[in-house]
Structure 1
Amino acid sequence: MPADPMCEVGQRIAAARRARRMTQDELARAAFVSLSMLRKIEQGSRLPSDDTLDAIAAALGTDPSRLLTGHTRVDHRVRDALPSISAAVAAYDIPDDGPTRPLAELRSDVAAATSWRLAAQYVQITRQLPALLGELARAFHASRGAERAELASLLVAAYRSADAVAYKYGASDLSARLIELMRWAVPEADSPLLEATVSYVRTETFFSARAHAPGLRALEQAVDTAPAPSDTATIAARGALHMRAAVIAGRAGNAEAADIHLDEARTLGDRVQEGIYQGTAFGPHSVRIHEVSVAVSLGSDHVHRAVDVAKEWKPAEPLPAERRSGFYIELARAQLWAGMADDSFESL
């Protein structure tokens, strides 16, 4: 953290509060902290505890990491929570006894976890997911019929949110295990669109193993079996697969395949509005972000493509933080290769 972390954190909280047009009193009430404490925090005379920081971040609709100037504190919290996710995953087929809430409540909690994933709010995920995974497993194994299919879909979405944390924080084995559980649950959901989503996420395993050629084959098989692009949902599902295939083709050094898949993704992206489909952001803007990623994946000889895109376009605020951050990370790499060190640091 910086030399004066109390002032830095207080300034960030105050700036975020003002950006949301909240008074100190409104934020204090929303976060369930005293007004005097909030004033001291914003003035820099008091450093919030983890619980207080979490409450303030939740009231502001952001992740605690956005209110800190260094990530060490948040990183430790996320990594310390990973064993709890591992324990929940290990008992996927033998969940402990306990109550399960109505399906509507489970559905709401999974939707919240998906929102946190898209917003890169990983602390929130690690706080809520271990218990939710256990509860979903209990409900799933006790269910039948249509309810069982929906619970399978909810399990897939919850596993995906947990996987986002594991993958981003370098827990490759846990990430691979979560993806295998997604593949285990998805047949019960009986949803071709969800199967396409799982194939999209599975690519992380190939990225981690640097098995780019097999990953490309897996995605191309998924494209072949995905539903025909006849409506918005099916267009988005197939387009997301092409988008992902373009990136892994680039990492495999297959420029021809990368261009083919990127062209297909672009054509499909132009047919839908930018949005979230089956938990995946897709549309013209997402394709453009992946165009930068493909250029970087192909190596330093192609960085001009990434830099050229960035000269004309930047991802707007409505895009999920997970997408926007990916754009700037890839752009920074391209700028560094192009000898644009200052621009690279600015992107980061």
Structure 2
Amino acid sequence: MARPALRSSVGERIAAIRSARRMYQADLARAANVSISMLRKIEQGTRVPSDHMLDAIAAALGVDPSRLLGDSGRLDSRVHDAIPALREVIAAYDVPDKGPVRPLPALRASVADAVQKRLSAQYVLLSQNLPELLGELIRGAHTAADPDKFATLLVAAYRASDAVAYKYGYLDLSARLIELMRQASATAEDPLLSASTAYVRTEIFFAAHAYQAGLRAIESAIDRLPEKAERSRLGVLGALHMRAAVVAARAADADAAVTHLGEARRLGDLIPEDIYYGTAFGPCSVRVHEISVALGLGDRHLHLALTLGATWSPPLSMPAERRSGFFIDLARAQLWAGLKDAAFESLRTARRIAPQHTREHPWVREDAETLLRLHRAGSETLVGFAEWVGVI
């Protein structure tokens, strides 16, 4: 009986978002290249769209397919099904196949689109598009007269691929992609690009719980940054200090955490809005990381996270992945403080912002399971959320 429910929910979401966009059925049908009769049947719940059709409708509405599928497990399977193709491409990174390579402007546009999808936590679309894009970039780097021109694009594409691998638990693949990022950034001979990969590299140390080693690695990256008074260096340096503060907190090194966070705050105060150079940095990004640091240090630092959560919320201009991460961290702080209802509301907020990022976050599963134990009777809404994240 779950099939009719899926039909209804998908159609209802399409109709609701279309109405919010002030589009008629004819407008959406034309933009998605489907017949109006087919769209009408989908919205009425009498037809289920194929994956290809769903992607086309989502693109026409300007949303990720996850917004249309809701609780359906189709999203997870599509990501997991794409992983073998991604593995195959990077396994042959030094012996690529022969094939076409588009001009650099077209490749830059595709990579920029992939970066935007990563920041928006649109992992389904990323997983579908990245194997082909990575293969093309690798071929280009091997056949171009000036392969350095491809290095920056490869770093960004590897990072987008890592976002999918890391979020969905393919830690070996994630580690390999990060190593390829480091190789490509070294080829580019851009110290800022190399430093920005150090931010991502800490994922390996997080996964291994090797926090002291992670702190040494990121502090080394900070020390290697060239002394240049330029805006992009400020963004990279600030991002590294933010990350170092979180790693130090996980390592229970309160002094280092406070020192790095203080430096990140100082650098953030020098700019009016976030800078993006591989990773966003600015006053708002520092605040998001403050909660992570407070969680890592725990105990007497916990009130800082609760105070920040009660007085500030990340602006809509921030990437969806980072905004949802703020509420995931806040939920854990609230749960530790015994604020069960507030914690659940924060998890629901994270889900509204970036459903795929929230669903695949291990803390969300742990906290949903804890909330179920604390609410012995269990509300229907909480049970539904727990089912959605896969803990029951």
User: Into which bin does the TM-score normalised by the smaller protein fall?
Assistant: over 0.9
Does the CA contact (< 8 Å) of 1:246 and 1:294 recur in 2?
Answer: yes
Structure 1: runs of 5+ lacking an equivalent: none
What is the DSSP-based 3-state SS (H/G/I as helix, E as strand, rest coil) of the residue aligned with 2:98?
coil
- The CA deviation at 1:331 is 0.9
Alignment partner, residue 297 of structure 2: 298
- The CA deviation at 1:227 is 3.0
Alignment partner, residue 176 of structure 1: 175
Query: Structure 1 residues 232 and 17, CA, compared in 2 at 3 Å: closer, same or farther?
Result: farther
Off by >6 Å, runs of 4+ in structure 1: none
Alignment partner, residue 13 of structure 1: 14
Q: 1-side partners of 2:279 and 2:63: how far apart?
A: 20
Does the CA contact (< 8 Å) of 2:274 and 2:284 recur in 1?
Answer: no
Does the CA contact (< 8 Å) of 2:274 and 2:283 recur in 1?
Answer: no
- The CA deviation at 1:243 is 0.6
Alignment partner, residue 153 of structure 1: 152
- The CA deviation at 1:229 is 5.9
Return 34-43 or 50-59, whichever deviates more.
34-43
Return 87-96 or 267-276, whichever deviates more.
267-276
TM-score normalised by L of structure 1: 0.95
Does the CA contact (< 8 Å) of 2:274 and 2:285 recur in 1?
Answer: no
Alignment partner, residue 91 of structure 1: 92
Return 149-158 or 18-27, whichever deviates more.
18-27
Cα RMSD after superposing both structures: 1.7
Does the CA contact (< 8 Å) of 1:117 and 1:164 recur in 2?
Answer: yes
Q: 1-side partners of 2:306 and 2:8: how far apart?
A: 36
Does the CA contact (< 8 Å) of 1:236 and 1:272 recur in 2?
Answer: no
Return 54-63 or 328-337, whichever deviates more.
54-63
Query: Structure 1 residues 257 and 20, CA, compared in 2 at 3 Å: closer, same or farther?
Result: farther
Alignment partner, residue 108 of structure 1: 109
Query: Structure 1 residues 34 and 3, CA, compared in 2 at 3 Å: closer, same or farther?
Result: closer
Paired amino acid for 1:298: L
Alignment partner, residue 270 of structure 2: 271
Paired amino acid for 2:97: D
Q: 2-side partners of 1:260 and 1:209: how far apart?
A: 24
Does the CA contact (< 8 Å) of 1:274 and 1:286 recur in 2?
Answer: no
- The CA deviation at 1:43 is 2.9
What is the DSSP-based 3-state SS (H/G/I as helix, E as strand, rest coil) of the residue aligned with 1:342?
helix
- The CA deviation at 1:263 is 1.0
Q: 2-side partners of 1:20 and 1:309: how far apart?
A: 34
Paired amino acid for 2:242: M
Paired amino acid for 2:141: F
1:290-310 Cα deviation digits (max 9, x unpaired): 111111122355322111101
Query: Structure 1 residues 312 and 3, CA, compared in 2 at 3 Å: closer, same or farther?
Result: farther
What is the DSSP-based 3-state SS (H/G/I as helix, E as strand, rest coil) of the residue aligned with 1:4?
helix
- The CA deviation at 1:66 is 2.0
Q: 2-side partners of 1:252 and 1:16: how far apart?
A: 45
Identical-pair percentage: 59
Alignment partner, residue 57 of structure 1: 58
Alignment partner, residue 234 of structure 1: 233
What is the DSSP-based 3-state SS (H/G/I as helix, E as strand, rest coil) of the residue aligned with 1:315?
coil
Paired residues, what number?
A: 346
Does the CA contact (< 8 Å) of 1:212 and 1:252 recur in 2?
Answer: yes
TM-score normalised by L of structure 2: 0.84
Alignment partner, residue 254 of structure 1: 253
